[in-house]
Structure 1
């Protein structure tokens, strides 16, 4: 009901909306409307109430609540069910719990703050309140588990395109799935899967985005390697709009990934967003380091590195450093 009332107020933001009109549109009493208005005000919305004129929305806070995300969202599946928390240890952990409980395909789990956010290789992810987007999607692709890891590559395409659109500056993918502006990272992706040998039960796609941090707000050890969308654009972004943009770009790519049976049909799309292909790289793998030039990715998403000897080495998992 709050969503309906907020939608009405947004649609008439330059005028007052009578309580009677809201009652009729929502099928509730004036007392119920007043109660929901009060709840919106408690969430940070400023609503002017004038006797015999009605209600008018004056200000919307930068929050990532379902009310804000769903309004204007153009997807068919992704984000149509939203679970929001002010604070969680990890959105991936909560999404995993919900997935085991039967949460539907496309369910979005989002939090204002993570206290135990995780990146790849078990690293902590800086997730302060009110500054970023910390979200996880529950996905149930009808694919072999062999293709699950490729979903991070698909998501990276969407994120790179969304960020370029939002900031007006060119983002790019550092293999396999980190999103960079120049030499600094603004986003990470972490996927976790539950599957049998021949069937995926669910994938949790975790995404952490630095949105409105200033340089001084990053921990000192991150200031030379991390960046936010705000720093890139030069002004703050509305976090709910960032989420909407990501989901809008991701949905058709995800649908193609499922429909075509994996990443191969999106390989050229990934390469268009890459800042890795053509670079001299050092790949730190469990078996040692490999140096050479990143020349391609194969249909499975492995990075192809040409060494000094001319040998092509396919790398499936590694820490990539630019030389």
Structure 2
């Protein structure tokens, strides 16, 4: 009901909507409307209240609430269910607990903060509150475990493509799972799975994007090889818009791959924005 109240206010954003009008339209009491308005205010929505006029939505918060992300998506599978947590140790850890029971294919786990974010090889991933996009995509692909690495490849391309399209920044893919701009890391991807010998039971694609992290935070935490999109762009990034574009791009690539089980065509575009091809790499195992 809270989200329905929000949507009605959003539709009438430039004018007041009386509590009586809302209660009649939604078939609830005015007291119920008032309670939901207060819940929205606590979540950071700026809603102007007037005894004689009613309520008017003035501003939406910079959060990744399901109601905000869902309205920007027109996807068929990815993001049709969104699980939101203010603070979690790791979205991948949280997703793993869900996947070991039952879950919706394509569900998203989104957090405003990760207290123990993880990268490859167990490395810590700094995930300050409200400054990044910390999300895991939960999948049930009919694939062999050997195909899992291809999901990481298409995810990396989806992230780089989204940053390029939305922000006009020269995002490159640093094999196998990082996105860099001007040599600085702005995104990491961690793909994990539960599998048997010949079949994947679930796949979790964790994505961490340094969207609006400030330079002081990176310096204070000794993150000299990292940057944020805000620092590079010189202005705050709309996280909701970037995440929704990423999910749309990911779904298209993912569906194409599931249909063909091939990334040959994708690799042609991938190579064009690779930061690794033609360079020496050091393999750590």
Which range is displaced more, 261-270 or 100-109? 261-270
Q: What's 1:19 paired with?
A: 19
SS at match of 2:47: strand
More displaced stretch, 22-31 vs 196-205: 22-31
Cα shift readout 1:30-63 (whole Å, capped 9, x = no counterpart):
2221111110001111111123422101121111
1:219 Cα deviation after fit: 4.5
Say if 1:257 and 1:266, in contact at 8 Å, map to a contact too.
no
8 Å Cα contact 2:128/2:213 also seen in 1: no
Q: Any idea what SS the aligned residue of 1:202 has?
A: strand
**Of the two, which has the highest radius of gyration?**
1
Residues 1:174 and 2:203 are matched in the alignment: no
Aligned to 1:283: 282
Deviation for aligned residue 1:282:
2.9
Deviations 1:211-249 (A, max 9, x none): 111211115464431111111211112222221121011
* 1:196 alignment partner in structure 2: 196
Q: Which moved more, 1:264-273 or 1:151-160?
A: 264-273
Structure 1, gaps ≥5 residues long:
287-323
Whole-angstrom CA distance in 2 between matches of 1:223 and 1:61:
28
CA contact (8 A) 1:113 1:134 kept: yes
Q: Map of 1:125-144 to 2, 5 A cutoff?
A: 125-144=125-144
Q: Distance in 2 between matches of 1:196 and 1:216?
A: 45
Take 2:30 and 2:262, find their aligned partners in 1: how far apart are those partners? 52
Distance 2:162 2:6 in 1: 26
Question: How many angstroms does 1:142 deviate by?
Answer: 1.1
Cα distance, 1:26 vs. partner?
3.0
Give 3-state SS (helix, strand or coil) of 1:281's partner. coil
Structure 2 residue runs without a partner (length 5+): none
| CA-atom RMSD in angstroms | 1.6
Q: Which residue in the other structure is 1:216 paired with? A: 216
User: Matches of 2:185 and 2:75 in 1, distance apart?
Assistant: 27
- 1:66 and 1:261 map into 2 onto residues whose CA distance is 31
Aligned residues: 285
Deviation at 1:6, TM superposition (A): 1.5
More displaced stretch, 186-195 vs 136-145: 136-145
- Tell whether 2:258 aligns with 1:258: yes
Map of 1:319 onto structure 2: none
More helix by share: 2
What is the CA distance between 1:11 and its match in structure 2?
2.1
TM-score (norm 2): 0.94
Larger RCO (CA under 8 A, 6+ residues apart): 2
Query: What displacement does 1:17 show?
Result: 1.8
Distance in 1 separating the partners of 2:245 and 2:222: 26
User: Matches of 1:255 and 1:149 in 2, distance apart?
Assistant: 16
CA contact (8 A) 1:7 1:71 kept: no
